Structure 1
Amino acid sequence: MSKGYVFRSAFAPYILEFLKMKGNLVVNSDVYRHTLQQWDGAMLENGFNELYVTREMVSAWENSLRNICDRTSYTKHTQLIQFLKYMCRLGIECFVPRIPKRPSSMYTPYVFTHEEMSRIMEAIDKSEQKGFRPKSCLICMPCLFRLLYSTGMRISEALNIKNGDVNFQSDLIFLTKTKNGKERIIPMNPELKVVLSQYLKYRDMMPVEGICKPERHLFVSGIGKPFTATTPYTFFKKILRQCGIAHKGKNQGPRVHDLRHTFAVHTLQKMATEGVDLYAGLPVLSVLLGHASVRETEWYLRLTREFYPEVIDIISSTTGGIFPDVDKNNMYYGKGN
């Protein structure tokens, strides 16, 4: 199925309107379109021509989803449920299935408090190198972790930044190697600009030939070589222990990636307290995070509700039921963002 697919079931006009409404929020609504194409096809194939939804019709759609993993099934069910609830609000009788059990591979992110972030940054700043270790990356850590927290970029994106990608004249950082393959631009706030300038001042003192050339990596070890995400991950676990923040082990977190989640939640909370229109602000945050669609960013609202309930009160007055109702145990695709 493709964008050229023509919806032909009894639900066609409602699907198109739903996708249009989603399109006002979603950068790329293809994820919804594909699921609803499957729904449309299942209705035609099974001869369901009436404008209502029964358990039998949902089962027919589920049977058409062949060879998909539990995580994909979970995603498609949440998307269809949003559409069915939209239909219900229009007065069309619909059976709305329950959300499937969350796949075990899904991860509920850890959101650091503002106080925890202060302790983490203080511990990073006080870190000292013991002994002579020319390959150490400690010089990068204060700047790297502030960059992650203040921009929400992924660790892989940060480690792929080249010197030439940082423009101090326009206060912008250009990300050329991203998860979804799309380049994006990240603004530098004044504090981050100062931190980056200080880091470069001392980094460029290292006796490494060509360390400041545009094509060289921004973050390097003491011998001028780039490093993998394993290095900051190991360092971060040490910092968490120093701060008394329990690390639950592999794939349990808190993780370096949780700084990205923390950035998103703290940004939404700041928007709410400053009176920013979240209906307009959410797509902006989505673009800044590099999400393929606002659907991914929507989940942060569920996460934010646990810490700042007023955010949901503000946005619900304008978005109605556009956002999925998900309990706190089914909150977020941690690895997918």
Structure 2
Amino acid sequence: MYAEFYHLKKLDDFFIQEGITEISFSRDQAIKWRQRLEGETEKTQYYRVNTTKRFFEYLFIQGFPVFQLRDTKCPKTDFIPHIYTDEEIEKYFLALDNYVSVQNRRHNIQLSVLFRIMFCCGTRMTETITIHKKDIDLDEGIIKLSETKNSKERYVVMSSSLLDLMRSFADKTFYDLSDDDYIFRSLYRRHISASIIAEIHHKVLQHADIPNCGSGRYGKRVHDWRHTFAVRSFKQLIDSGMDMYVALPIMSAYLGHNNIYSTERYLRLTISLYPYLTEKLEKSLDEIFEKNDYEKN
């Protein structure tokens, strides 16, 4: 939310600089706004333009004369996410289950469920912390993700062990919730903040004695659980004999990507970690994919 506020404040400053006093936005002004600002990184430019683009789309729908911005390409990165090993997974969740929060006593029963959803279902952190009570189907073992990136609702399936854990969690907490309430709540009956989850994540890594370096600017990220899920899932699908042309669109839809090129990154990472899988592919990935435009997923 703060990032969106920051980008919209920059847009407001641009309006003042350009002397724009009416609700309009010309093509020349759009071209100028799309250019990189002084001291701005390519990544910040990407988020600034694409965040404010949604604002201009809203104004256009309302009938105002505003020129529509084109998307900017997400800058390429050589960043390699951390993929947790079996040993690290065991140590992490043992430490998590024994973690005692002094901030909010609800954390002591929420965290084990929250982090296991991210690991077992491959959900993004923001998708997970915004799950509503009405989104949980305890009979079928399905979670509906309604507040998602790209506004693409989708469903994820819980394993039998995760479903048992969710049912136990529901018995302890759901009686106090309305259907529209978030299941992972803060003290103020909102959802737990992403910053709190990130802070707890780094504490758990420390308690688990897992080195917290070499992956991301501030160490191993919560988002690395999603990468770990994707890599392990691709490996399982290919090991089972599923054709990659079948596995790729399945994983792309399940992860909530806009297209298979967003999912390609996970597949390449899987192949690099498990080179023997290349023998199961008839063609190299470079032959299959003709472009390398990635987005943060």
Out of 232, 253, 256, the residue aligned to residue 266 of structure 1 is 232
Q: For each residue in 1:215-236, what CA deviation from the matched residue of structure 2 results, as whole angstroms up to 9, or x when unmatched?
A: 1111124674421111111111
In 1, the alpha carbon distance for the partners of 2:84 and 2:76 equals: 23
TM-score by length of 2: 0.69
Match of 1:182 in 2: 152
- Counterpart amino acid of 2:211? A
Larger radius of gyration: 1
TM-score by length of 1: 0.61
Out of 145, 158, 173, the residue aligned to residue 143 of structure 2 is 173
In 2, the alpha carbon distance for the partners of 1:157 and 1:125 equals: 22
Out of 218, 232, 239, the residue aligned to residue 183 of structure 2 is 218
- Counterpart amino acid of 2:198? Y
Alpha carbons 2:81, 2:216 under 8 Å: kept: no
Q: CA deviation at 1:280?
A: 0.1
Q: For each residue in 1:45-64, what CA deviation from the matched residue of structure 2 results, as whole angstroms up to 9, or x when unmatched?
A: xxxxxxxxxxxxxxxxxxxx
In 2, the alpha carbon distance for the partners of 1:267 and 1:310 equals: 16
Q: CA deviation at 1:267?
A: 0.5
Match of 1:310 in 2: 276
In 2, the alpha carbon distance for the partners of 1:325 and 1:111 equals: 24
Match of 1:107 in 2: 79
Pick 1 or 2: higher relative contact order, CA cutoff 8 A, min separation 6: 1
In 2, the alpha carbon distance for the partners of 1:274 and 1:243 equals: 32
Match of 2:90 in 1: 118
In 1, the alpha carbon distance for the partners of 2:101 and 2:114 equals: 17
Match of 1:80 in 2: none
Structure 1 spans left out of the alignment, 5+ residues:
1-65, 75-101, 205-209
Out of 120, 134, 144, the residue aligned to residue 150 of structure 1 is 120
State the aligned residue count: 232
Match of 1:251 in 2: 217
Alpha carbons 2:185, 2:192 under 8 Å: kept: yes
User: Residue 296 in 1 paired to residue 262 in 2?
Assistant: yes
Alpha carbons 2:268, 2:285 under 8 Å: kept: no
User: Residue 239 in 1 paired to residue 204 in 2?
Assistant: yes
In 1, the alpha carbon distance for the partners of 2:289 and 2:282 equals: 9
Q: For each residue in 1:187-209, what CA deviation from the matched residue of structure 2 results, as whole angstroms up to 9, or x when unmatched?
A: 222121111111122224xxxxx
In 1, the alpha carbon distance for the partners of 2:134 and 2:106 equals: 23
What is the root-mean-square deviation in Å for CA atoms of aligned residues?
Answer: 3.1
- Counterpart amino acid of 2:128? A
Q: Percent sequence identity over matched residues?
A: 29
Q: For each residue in 1:31-79, what CA deviation from the matched residue of structure 2 results, as whole angstroms up to 9, or x when unmatched?
A: xxxxxxxxxxxxxxxxxxxxxxxxxxxxxxxxxxx9478569x9xxxxx
Change (3 A) 1:243 1:295: same
Match of 1:322 in 2: 288
In 1, the alpha carbon distance for the partners of 2:178 and 2:244 equals: 41
Q: CA deviation at 1:104?
A: 8.3
Change (3 A) 1:332 1:200: same
Any idea what SS the aligned residue of 1:286 has? helix
